[in-house]
Each structure stands twice: as structure tokens, then as C-alpha cells.
């Protein structure tokens, strides 16, 4: 009995129940291995500055599990990233709290805020890494097309345009609605000088 009581009060081993609505610790760690889940949850919970009151401390541990469950890791890698993200968040908030202490010196406040700034940047980096990992390395491309005008008989193409045989595409070829200039017989325009009087030419003019 004494050994069990000692283990329960050990800060390195936190017995936390899974959050409401979850079947097991797998939902917060991403792993089916119970030992891995137990270690990861304890590591993440120990990043907190524990409250002295047992009730408040239990709320802290429950909030850690709720955060991990909200991230919903799908495997061990995502679970570890989730734990690190929560740890960085806790550390950043602690630095910000210390910077706001009324008795804090100017140098101490500046150092705390500098550390908080670095931690928040690291947190953003982990969020980006988690998103990339969930995409499994597949880069997403977003194409935004604005103000596309398609004339009658034309076609709009979005993306890279290639042609067989190589060669560059001319501006006319890029515009299927453009018309080529061709010769066409038309009626003669009327002329005011119907008699076609001769135009006077100087005597010394050269031809």
C-alpha cells in the first residue's frame, strides 16, 4: 500500500484518465501501444507548471489531454508532434506570465518576452511540419484565375500549354478568336472628281 501511495504522488508519473468521449489513450497519442501512450501523455503533462491545489492541477492535466485529443494524431509521429506543440505552448505562456510580474526587472521582462517570441515561432514551425506530414510530402498547388474573357468560338485553357514538335506559341495562336488579315474584293468607293481632271505638273519637273 505504501509503495502504491508513493507512486501516485510521483510527479514523473501522472495517472490521468482519457478525456470524455474517447475510448482509450490511443485517441490522444495516435498509437495502439499503451506504454507509448502513457509515456507521451506524462511527458506532455509535465511541461505544465503544476498548480498546488489538487483540483486545479487535475484541470491542467485534463486540458493537456483535451488539446492532444483536439489535434487528433493518427500515428506516433503525429502524437509526438502534438506533445511538442503543447509543450512549446505551455513554455511560451509561462514566459509571458513571468514577464508580467510586477516585481520583474526590465532585463528579466525583456528576456522572458524574447524567449516567448522564440517559442511561439517554434510552435508555428511545428504546426507547419504537422500539416506537411499529414500531406505525406505532396505539395499542393493553388491556381487563381481572374478576368478571363472568352470570345465566341474561342476556348479558355488554364495551365501549361505545350505543343507537339516543340516551338513557341505565337500570340495569334494563343488567341483562337483572332482573325488573320486576308485580301477580299470589295466595291470601289465613290470619288468626287468624276471627270478626273489632269493634275498640273511644273515644266521643270523630273520624273
C-alpha cell at 36: 507509448
Higher pLDDT, 4 or 24: 24
For cell 465566341, the residue is 152
Percent of the chain with pLDDT over 70: 54
Q: How confident is the model at residue 52 (pLDDT cuts 50, 70, 90)?
A: confident
Q: Which comes out higher in pLDDT, residue 142 or 164?
A: 142
For residue 15, the model assigns a pLDDT of 54
pLDDT tens column, 71-82:
999 999 999 999
Distances (CA, A) of 42 to 29, 95, 108: 11, 22, 30
What is the average pLDDT value for the chain, to the nearest integer?
76
What DSSP assignment string belongs to 154-187? -----S----TT--PPPHHHH-TT---------P
Residues 80 and 46: their CA atoms lie apart, in Å, by 14
Cell numbers given for 196: 478626273
Give me the percent of the chain exceeding a pLDDT of 90.
44
Whether 1 shows a pLDDT value over 50: the answer reads no
Give which of 54, 72, 66, 77 is closest to 20, Cα–Cα. 66
Report pLDDT digits (tens) over 88-129.
999 999 999 999 999 999 999 999 999 999 999 999 999 999
pLDDT of residue 183: 62
pTM of the predicted model, to two decimals? Answer: 0.56
Dihedral of alpha carbons 24, 30, 32, 37, sign: negative
- Which pLDDT score, from 0 to 100, does residue 6 have? 42
Best CA proximity match to 60, nearest among 4, 8, 14, 114: 14
Residue with cell 507521451: 40
Amino acid at each position: 500500500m505504501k509503495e502504491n501511495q508513493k507512486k501516485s504522488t510521483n510527479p514523473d508519473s501522472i495517472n490521468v484518465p482519457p478525456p470524455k468521449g474517447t475510448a482509450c489513450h490511443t485517441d490522444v497519442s495516435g498509437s495502439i501501444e499503451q506504454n507509448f501512450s502513457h509515456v507521451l501523455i506524462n511527458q506532455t503533462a509535465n511541461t505544465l507548471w503544476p498548480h498546488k491545489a489538487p483540483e486545479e492541477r487535475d484541470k491542467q492535466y485534463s486540458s493537456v489531454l483535451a488539446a492532444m485529443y483536439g489535434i487528433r494524431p493518427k500515428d506516433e509521429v503525429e502524437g509526438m508532434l502534438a506533445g511538442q506543440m503543447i509543450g512549446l505552448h505551455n513554455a511560451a505562456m509561462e514566459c509571458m506570465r513571468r514577464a508580467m510580474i510586477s516585481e520583474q526587472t526590465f532585463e528579466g521582462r525583456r528576456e522572458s518576452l524574447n524567449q516567448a517570441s522564440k517559442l511561439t515561432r517554434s510552435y508555428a514551425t511545428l504546426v507547419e511540419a504537422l500539416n506537411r506530414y499529414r500531406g505525406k510530402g505532396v505539395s499542393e498547388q493553388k491556381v487563381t484565375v481572374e478576368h478571363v474573357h472568352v470570345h465566341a468560338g474561342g476556348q479558355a485553357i488554364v495551365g501549361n500549354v505545350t505543343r507537339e514538335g516543340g516551338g513557341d506559341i505565337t500570340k495569334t495562336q494563343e488567341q483562337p478568336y483572332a482573325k488573320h488579315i486576308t485580301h477580299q474584293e470589295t466595291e470601289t468607293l465613290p470619288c468626287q472628281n468624276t471627270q478626273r481632271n489632269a493634275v498640273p505638273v511644273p515644266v521643270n519637273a523630273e520624273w
